[in-house]
A and B are shown apart, each in its own frame.
Chain A
């Protein structure tokens, strides 16, 4: 009787077993596919940014024989000479059979409007070249650049593309003569922002980011460490410290744009600080990254074993001496790791900086924390909004630079953690 019953239970179990195992396999597959999906997405993100951006590191340049005509220059006033005419003359010399105003204009459009500034700089640097003829590589227009990189197709109807058939004919001729080549894009790394894609660079944005981060680091690291030391080592358990802790945990989850509103209302409107300045950006980002640094620093302080504290106190150190001489040095790697991660967050942050006017179109490279500036992520946002095709690849390239910075910062943090992490 009992044996029969056990058998029926086993029967029931084994009857369902196949179904249950199948379910188990499906569940496991589902979990695996979740991870694969995320990994695929990361791969897609990086590949698409890379595929769009790598070509921006090259820029098409055109080789022109520029004759620095003596008559064009006034020795006392070199900067006002008509440099554009020099470029035009040399283009004319290359294509003597192009006549007619509109054709000439189309022809001159092939060279970037920034070419004249290059010549201006050369002349001001060395007045000796006046009167001579030189072969000079000058930046080509962004449409030419796009054409050579294959983003503008010949097969499209003439009206649907930005270059007409004549211009393409000239380009082909220049390429055949070896006067049109893709070279390493130095402008992208040495220039500030510009409305012309071929003249736009990230130097201004990188400098702005560095100034902003410097302010953030100088303020948030000492304040964050001090707060963590106070809360972890000195603070009595009472309502006030509870309030501080709840506040820090909440601030860590407040949307970043709200910090931007705070910056706008308090730093700009109440304190009257300058708009678009890295100083204000740094202040806002300090408030934003403080919770991250405080939480990491507290965890790091907590991990220092109490025996070290007690030993120091035992040999007669004051509490402050025990902290500054023994606990802080041991907790420092963890604190620095937290700080670097906080700085990486601050480097990628965009929204609060939009609120305090760091979205202005700024050509000059900033030289101080009060100069108007923009930062790398905001520059990416600005370029992403621009309609020109050439800005798409520059946006992607700027993203690659930004990701490069972030990856190296995180790598340093991981390295610090590996190198100094101690298990007590």
Chain B
């Protein structure tokens, strides 16, 4: 029985339960009109019956999903001959992996161990039995709990309160997902990072000047030990983000000022949505554009001046990324500029200041905390941006201050290290998680400061 069919049966059963519960409530309510003897409206009795029909089997299902595989593997391992059972933990792991591959049918026919083959067949058989058992158990639970509630339906039963209680609990559960996500992110990058730092010291990672994570297969080959100094990667990240901010902050800020202080409402109505298009274009499109149009253009115009420009220059990626984050800067600045009280503007005009003087000497200083918050958010966006740099920036980790050369970034390295084959015991794969941790921490700090600054600022004028 496949899970989808099971789910379908469960849903049918639930709608049946709903109708039965509702009917019973009606029949109990007595002959008088308006079902006045009932505590709740009849639908609630139906809903309660249906909920009880669905929830217990789903809990059973969740448990089965969580534990069935490990229990079945343990049982399959028990079936192995004793000689194979007394292995070290590592060898057992290897054996389990072989078994899993065999079950999934991934192994080429020649290297199948007949014993293992037998166990795999046993496993597949047991899996089928367990699936059938699951279906039976779920349906029995459904029918049982449904009939339990059905028989307990009385007019004085507080069905509505029960239903509302269940709904409220599920609302609380939903709201914890945000926290679970954060915990999941922290734990997943932290665990792999700790494994990485067991192999490579933390100081080498944070202060090392050489980055070449490709490790050779054998110890005697050249470059056998990868070096994992994150400084060149970080320098590249900050250079590209710096270029991006150098583009985005002036343009974004000036357009926000123009839109909120100078532009007529008609220009505003046109220009604002157009600026928002910039935020809606997928980053992979920017990346393609950077690689196809901007990078060759910069290279060619560099050649015109006799400069040697790499075709994957930091400048191209930075420029395009800057355009991408213009809307972040401009929309946040727009908000804070609009929040500056009109009285401050009027005061400045009254003293004879021109509009630009008012903006530069009164409005911008007053809005500065909010603007800084917006810039910090844009910076965290730039540091975490992936596709533009993957497509337009380079792979080689050069420690350079020349924006015309190719540099690499944290996100580029994470992508190149994790796309393709992964070995979760080699530092080459694990270092990607260490970089991820670094990225998460840096952006988190920027975000927290930005949110704090923006909130503080808002409170000041509200």
Contacts and interface: CB of A to CB of B under 8 A. Distances in A.
Interface string A1-44: 00000000000010000001101100110111111011101101
A213 B326 CA distance: 28
Contact of A244 (B176, B381, B385): B176
B288 A272 contact: no
Interface centre among B192, B252, B386 (most CB of A within 10 A): B386
B268 to A, nearest CB: 10
A264 B440 CA distance: 16
Nearest to B354: A24
Contacts, number: 246
Contacts of B175: 226-227, 230-231, 235, 244
A227 B164 CA distance: 16
A265 interface: yes
B174 A350 contact: no
B258 A45 contact: no
B271 A226 contact: no
A331 interface: no
Interface string B357-384: 1011000000000000000010011011
Contact of A253 (B287, B380, B432): B380
Contacts of B160: 318
B418 A264 contact: yes
A363 interface: no
A30 B282 CA distance: 28
Contacts of A227: 171, 174-175, 177-178
B439 A255 contact: yes
A399 interface: yes
Interface centre among A222, A226, A253 (most CB of B within 10 A): A253
A244 B69 CA distance: 33
Contacts of A248: 178
B444 interface: yes
A354 B419 contact: yes
B179 A261 contact: no
B280 A354 contact: no
A82 interface: no
B275 interface: yes
A269 B384 contact: no
A266 B184 contact: yes
Contact of B280 (A44, A48, A344): A344
A130 interface: no
Contacts of A264: 188, 418
A52 interface: yes
A349 B386 CA distance: 10
Interface centre among B277, B357, B432, B444 (most CB of A within 10 A): B277
Given A230-B175, A359-B419, A381-B284, A262 B164 contact: no
B440 to A, nearest CB: 5
Nearest to A288: B181
A48 B177 contact: no
Contacts of B448: 250
Given A244-B179, A290-B178, A254 B185 contact: yes
A406 B280 contact: yes
Contacts of A255: 380-381, 383-386, 411, 439-440, 443
B148 interface: no
Contact of B185 (A21, A44, A259): A259
A144 B315 CA distance: 36
Interface stretch (B5-13, B25-33, B210-218, B289-297): B289-297
B179 A351 contact: no
Q: Is chain B's binding surface mostly helix, strand, loop or mixed?
A: helix
Interface in A330-367: 344, 347-351, 354-355, 359
B281 interface: yes
Given A230-B174, A262-B188, A380-B284, A27 B356 contact: yes
Given A257-B436, A354-B415, A38 B282 contact: no
A265 B275 contact: no
Band of interface residues on A: 35 or more
A212 to B, nearest CB: 14
Contacts of A392: 292
B282 A406 contact: yes
A355 B281 contact: no
A384 B288 contact: yes
Given A223-B174, A257-B386, A266 B182 contact: no
Contacts of A373: none
A259 B440 CA distance: 10
A300 B185 CA distance: 29
B172 A230 contact: yes
Nearest to B185: A262
Contacts of B313: none
Interface in A212-241: 222-223, 226-227, 229-231, 234-235
Contact of A31 (B170, B257, B357): B257
Contacts of B293: 44, 48
A194 interface: no
A269 B184 CA distance: 13
A261 B185 contact: yes
B341 interface: no
B354 A320 contact: no
7 tightest CB-CB pairs across the interface, nearest first?
A255-B384, A348-B282, A31-B258, A265-B188, A34-B254, A351-B386, A27-B356
Interface of B: 69, 160, 164, 167-168, 170-172, 174-179, 181-182, 184-185, 188-189, 191-192, 250-255, 257-259, 261-262, 271, 274-275, 277-278, 280-289, 291-293, 323, 326, 352, 354-357, 359-360, 377, 380-381, 383-387, 390-391, 411, 414-415, 418-419, 424, 432-433, 436, 439-440, 443-444, 447-448, 450-451
28 contacts: A24-B356, A27-B356, A42-B274, A44-B293, A45-B285, A223-B177, A230-B174, A231-B175, A243-B179, A247-B179, A250-B444, A255-B384, A255-B443, A257-B439, A258-B185, A258-B440, A258-B443, A262-B189, A265-B433, A287-B177, A287-B181, A290-B177, A318-B160, A320-B167, A350-B284, A381-B284, A381-B287, A396-B288
